[in-house]
Structure 1
Amino acid sequence: MLHPSHIFLTEDRTFIPLLATNIGEELVDASFRYGWTRENELKRVRATVGGKTAAVVFALTLFAFVAESQLTQYVQTTLGFRQPFFLFYIAHSSFCVIFPVHLLCLVAINGNTADAYISGLTAALQNQLSGKNNGSPLIRDSAFPYTKLVLLVSWLTAGVTVPSLLWFVAITLASVSDVTALWNSNAFWAYVIHVKLSRLHWESRKLASVVIASLGVLVVVYGSESQTPPEAGSDLAAARRMITQPKAPLIGNILTLIASVGYGLYQVMYKRHAALPSDPEADASSWERLSVSSYESLSDTLRPPDDPEQLQSALAFPPPFGLHSNFLTSCIGLCTLCVLWIPIPLLHHADIETFKLPSNWATFFTVCGIGLTGVMFNAGFMILLGVWGPIITSVGNLLTIVLVLISDVVLWGASAVLTVWSLLGSGMIVCAFAVLVYDMFY
């Protein structure tokens, strides 16, 4: 049955669901005022899941990754600030700013109070972590599960950090080409793990798309490498020549493979256990139309609360698009800030990475840019994992290979990297992603 706290009674005795995130006239939808069908609700939810907001987030995520990659290369080569772990620490610690920024934007744009959004978010987290679904921020029948939240954040931090650190270690042991190719196979592993854990049947279209995208990565990495002379690429070639020869390629490749599988597992588990439920089938099937007699008997219960603050909290539930995800991302950043500073003095003492701060303003602002773009990329990636799921998000993330290739040509003058193989591989990745997008909408 539809929970009483989900709806309120209008003057013409029409029941309106309190599930919209926008406050105002858009809350009253004609499909609910004059009758509701499961098919209409499916169309509405699918439009929300695959709407313009998600597309904009995806575009910003791709841009942020390319910018972060180019800034990282610039600061370590041109500016000579080679502090990979410190840069990793700065980028991931910066995650903690995204939730306060998002909250301030919501307050400024929508006019609701911050307390209302926090109350709605708290209710969503309490429902999620306690395994209950009372559906309202006004009903609190138990204490907030802080222990479960800490465990969830710790798991998320480990899921993001461990694969990244394995990649940093592997890049010093194996070739860049091998590490890049193996790491980007995480899209394939995400699909395999998703099918196995969810006990689904193999879908030929999705499987073919993931395999084609993964093969496209191999074509770009190894095809471009075989046809590009060492002198080609101007500054880019000079930067690549600074990388030492592989010391232990087998160990490096094994570490990268473990990191790739682990990152694929993280994406699947995030969607299953950390993201709020957003499945259209589940959302639609949870609705049941009430009879007229039910309206009469529940009329007193279904009226909105008289307290304006309680009403604002109800209207802020469920949380606005991306707020729940950005809260978890900020928690990951806070956990990173408090814990991952510990290896910095240890690495310095062991002469593995001598710690030093930026020595000039150019380096300082470039490091800040790395932190900012890192926040944009990871926040967007986490949002898309919850909205689109791990399959299309991980394959879409492979488009960054294409964009980095283009940016290498534009920024570094590396026109020689544009080979038949790189164009073929890029085309394979783009086509595979297009098929998955079509499959999601149609």
Structure 2
Amino acid sequence: MYSKRSQQPLLGSKAESRPPLSRHSTLGEIHSIAEAKAANRKRYTYAAGFLVLSLISFAVQTETAVYIQHNLKWNKAYCMLYFTHGSWTLLWPTQLLILRLQRWHEPWEVFWRRHIKLLRQTAQMVEQRVPHQSAIASKRSPVPYMLRMTAMITCALTVAGGSWYVAVDLTTASDLTAIYNCSAFFAYAFSIPLLHEKVRFSKVFAVIVAIIGVLIVAYGDQSPSKHGSKSGGGAGGDMAPDPSNARDRPLGNLIIGVGSVLYGLYEVLYKRFACPPDGTSPGRGMIFANTFGSMIGSFTLLVLWIPLPILHFMGWETFELPRGEAAWMMAISVSANAIFSGSFLVLMSLTSPVLSSVAALLTIFIVAIIDQILPPPLKTPLTPAALAGGLLIIAAFALLSYATYKEMGEEAKRKVAEEIDEDEFDD
């Protein structure tokens, strides 16, 4: 028996001294580290693509949602939440169509069997927290586990998104923006116990800078803001109320504070209990992320319709489908939300909840720029506060991206070194 640090036999051991690493082993280690770096670059390349897609779709959804609620006067909070989250059901069928087009000449039976097998194996990897299908210890069905996780994560997401709609008429635009987007901090806080995230100064500093940027955007000027929430939380980037309309500011702040905590928790729960563990191929992670998004959408459609008749009969929100222009704009907004949400789920699967949460804050700045170039009366001037806060958010995202990429590289090197060390030790 040997000590891996000293490479010498332990006292009392009858084993002989371990021979030094061979040139072949050294070359193998270099090759494994190079492969790990290539995998990280591929993962970040995919993540960058889905980040761009999520930012574009968010901007479309935000502007259409604002137009529906404030220009067309169709303001049905929970109904819009139900439609937007329910639209996630389309993620898996759309993905299946794309995959099928890529394998058009393959017989359908073979394609379908291979796809279902991949999803089943990935779900088993998620449940058992193993990065390779060869390490799956049990062949039991992962369906009960995925159903429980879908219910838990969807409820956290729905309450977080619903809190925005409840607080929207109770507090100010500034408070709504600042408090809800502090979910980036709570995502990091929950990542420490649930994901075993290490407390690193660079990440803490980046999150703090991002939140400072949000505070500058929120409180730097007193004009009404439409950048009060993240679409992934279900609020859809809807326009926040004018401060003069706030009726019960402390209660509203408390409600949106709970929503901020729950949204951060939702992100971490998704990463911990519904994403393949680190080391899984990026392609497998992307396919499973959109599949789980469809499960969230299906749970929303099948279960979360129950509050609709209750709200209707209580007189709190009369159920009414959008008509005419509102219906077309709602279709665009809902479709954009589905694209954003699918991209955001993939982004969290490929990177981390903290990085994804800070990345979502970029939408505040992007929507502000779009508002600047829209024609009147939709045009909203870009204020110095929005510009300064947006630049801080961008800087925080760049810093966090670099820190995360560097950490992923170090983790990959450590795992490769441990595997080679164990192989040499076993020999």
* TM-score between the two structures when normalised by the length of structure 1: 0.76
**Does the CA-based 8 Å contact 2:171-2:243 persist in structure 1?**
no
Q: Which has the higher contact order (CA 8 A, sep 6+)?
A: 1
CA distance in 2, matches of 1:240, 1:203: 34
In structure 2, what is the equivalent of residue 95 of structure 1? 88
**Does the CA-based 8 Å contact 1:120-1:319 persist in structure 2?**
no
* TM-score between the two structures when normalised by the length of structure 2: 0.78
Corresponding position: 1:426 with 2:390: yes
**Does the CA-based 8 Å contact 2:173-2:224 persist in structure 1?**
no
**Deviation digits for residues 301-353 of structure 1 (CA, Å, limit 9, x no counterpart):** xxxxxxxxxxxxxxxx9964511001100000000001111111111111111
Corresponding position: 1:390 with 2:390: no
Distance verdict in 2 for CA 1:240–1:383, change over 3 Å: closer
* Structure 1 position 132, deviation (Å): 6.2
In structure 1, what is the equivalent of residue 369 of structure 2? 406
In structure 2, what is the equivalent of residue 60 of structure 1? 53
Distance verdict in 2 for CA 1:130–1:432, change over 3 Å: closer
Structure 2 alignment gaps of length 5 or more: 1-26, 226-238, 407-427
* Structure 1 position 182, deviation (Å): 0.2
In structure 2, what is the equivalent of residue 249 of structure 1? 249
**Deviation digits for residues 331-378 of structure 1 (CA, Å, limit 9, x no counterpart):** 000000011111111111111111112231x21111111110110111
Q: What RMSD over aligned residues (CA atoms) do the two structures have, in Å? A: 2.6
Distance verdict in 2 for CA 1:223–1:149, change over 3 Å: same
Amino acid at match of 1:262: L
Distance verdict in 2 for CA 1:200–1:133, change over 3 Å: closer
Mapping for residues 82-231 of structure 1, pairs under 5 Å: 82-111=75-104, 112=106, 113-130=111-128, 135-136=133-134, 142-225=139-222, 228=223
Amino acid at match of 2:87: S
CA distance in 2, matches of 1:88, 1:104: 26
Corresponding position: 1:39 with 2:33: yes
* Structure 1 position 79, deviation (Å): 1.5
CA distance in 2, matches of 1:134, 1:143: 16
In structure 2, what is the equivalent of residue 274 of structure 1? 274
**Does the CA-based 8 Å contact 1:210-1:395 persist in structure 2?**
yes
**Does the CA-based 8 Å contact 2:224-2:242 persist in structure 1?**
no
Amino acid at match of 2:203: K
In structure 2, what is the equivalent of residue 70 of structure 1? 63
* Structure 1 position 104, deviation (Å): 1.4
CA distance in 1, matches of 2:130, 2:179: 40
CA distance in 2, matches of 1:117, 1:266: 27
How many positions carry a matched residue from both structures?
360
Amino acid at match of 2:43: V
**Does the CA-based 8 Å contact 2:125-2:277 persist in structure 1?**
no
CA distance in 2, matches of 1:54, 1:318: 9
Structure 1 alignment gaps of length 5 or more: 1-33, 231-238, 284-316
CA distance in 1, matches of 2:185, 2:133: 36
In structure 2, what is the equivalent of residue 355 of structure 1? 319
Distance verdict in 2 for CA 1:337–1:427, change over 3 Å: same
* Structure 1 position 73, deviation (Å): 0.7
Distance verdict in 2 for CA 1:318–1:407, change over 3 Å: closer
In structure 2, what is the equivalent of residue 18 of structure 1? none
Distance verdict in 2 for CA 1:346–1:38, change over 3 Å: same
Question: Identity over the aligned pairs, expressed in percent?
Answer: 30
